[in-house]
Amino acid sequence: MARLLTFRSVLALLTICAICSSAERAWAGKRMTHIVKAEAVVQDGRTCLNVVSDGRLAPELYKVAFPERIVIDAADAAFQLTLLPKSISAGRIMSFRYGPITGQGVRMVVDVTQGTRIGRVSSKRLRGEFYLSSISFIGGKPSDDQTCDKVLGDDRPIGVQTASFAESKRPSSEPRSVSRPRELVVVIDPGHGGVDPGAVVNKVDLEKGIVLAVGRRVAKRLRKDERFRVVLTRDTDSFVSLDDRVERTRQEKGDLFISLHADSIDKAAYALRAQGAAVYILSHRASDALAKRLADKENAADLPAGILPKKASSGGEVRGILVDLLARETESSSSRLRKLLIDSMRSKVRLSRQPARSAAFHVLKQAETPAVLVELGYMSNPGDLKRMRRADWQEQMATAIAAGVQNFFDER
């Protein structure tokens, strides 16, 4: 028996070694492609991104809106640029950034002007083992649908970045568009509604009524600015599920999402201390115990209507959203919006001692749209409740929110 066990052990060890050796040979044969040069090119009204690599690339491209950008993924690739790229402003390309994707390769994100589409993607061999990939960005004219691969010729030194990246104000030969820019879509989301009253105090004051009143005032103020088209997820005392609120933003192609709430705290330890307005952004980890308590409460808002919450996908839905590069850009924009809203509110309404907060609110799970949740105040606090009942306070809060939104887009 001992000999048999020894033989089987040796056989198993040899099998494992053979597998490891085979895997090592396969890995060794899998060559990493290095991107050594990249530049923006404008030629005859066409805009191209030219990329030189020491092997053939097989890029995958897709367009993402709000703001408009082209995403380019290249598997089994890495950057090996001699110079770090600077901002691009050439033709339809407004800016460029890149970075590795863990276990996948690299991703390039190209911010483009409104109405830009992906044109032709071409690849040709340069001298030696180097290849040129040329991606054209086009508008509405069929004549634009050509590559710019002749601009970056074989006489250029490989591995030395050209001046195109450094020329942040390179003049464009494309005609200026005289068409009116599209309206910016702002989605205002008054929480609760219908069978879901939200927080209830004294059986008279209902959260759903206060947030709807403020939401209507915000919409009225923003509609005076011709840049905006304002969408209310509900404009009446009606119930809208959490998923439908998020889906409405996608359907309307929202550029911004603001959810309005005015909670009450049941726990006596928090009830009197919690007061003033706060602004939340999405995070899988709550900024504090109160933030987590409120997020858990709001995420169960569908239960009064008999709707069971959807099960999160494997790995955690919020975590899955936040790790994506595009969602991280959205998270950054949401954080900036939060700051501007707080700055605008500071001189008009009372803020909480910690106004910048974060938690895993379901309605903020928006991968492409900057989103915040504004806590107008706490109905469980007598002072906050008294203020929120007043029409002049509601108008001041609406004015502050509208100003924060305008400042956000003014910056962009």
Question: Would you put residue 49 in left (φ > 0), alpha (ψ -120 to 50) or beta?
Answer: beta
Confidence band of 50 (pLDDT split at 50, 70, 90):
confident
Confidence band of 326 (pLDDT split at 50, 70, 90):
low
391-411 helix and 382-389 helix, angle to the nearest 10 degrees: 90
Bridge partners for 231 per DSSP: 187
Do β-strands 77-79 and 184-190 pair in parallel, antiparallel, or remain unpaired?
Answer: unpaired
User: What letter does residue 362 receive in the DSSP assignment?
Assistant: G
Check whether 328 has a pLDDT greater than 70. no
Tokens of residue 262, six digits: 């005015």
Return the minimum-mean-pLDDT range out of 8-12, 307-311, 327-331: 8-12
Please give the average per-residue pLDDT across 97-102, as a whole number.
71
Q: What is the pLDDT of residue 207?
A: 93
86 versus 241: the higher-pLDDT residue is: 241
| pTM over the 0.75 mark | no
Helix (H, G, I), strand (E, B) or coil at 271: helix
Q: List the one residue out of 384, 379, 374 whose CA is nearest residue 203.
A: 379
* HSE-CB for 12 with a 13 A CA cutoff: 6
Task: Give the largest Cα separation in the chain, rounded.
Answer: 91
Using only the alpha carbons of the chain, give its radius of gyration. 27
In order of start, what are the domains of the chain with their CATH numbers?
33-165 (2.60.40.3500), 184-411 (3.40.630.40)
What stretches of 1-59 adopt beta strand conformation (E)? Answer: 33-43, 46-53
Q: What is the pLDDT of residue 82?
A: 54
Q: What is the pLDDT of residue 88?
A: 55
Instruction: Give yes or no for a contact between 109 and 55, defined as CB atoms under 8 angstroms apart.
Output: no
80 versus 397: the higher-pLDDT residue is: 397
Helix (H, G, I), strand (E, B) or coil at 251: helix
Check whether 133 has a pLDDT greater than 70. yes
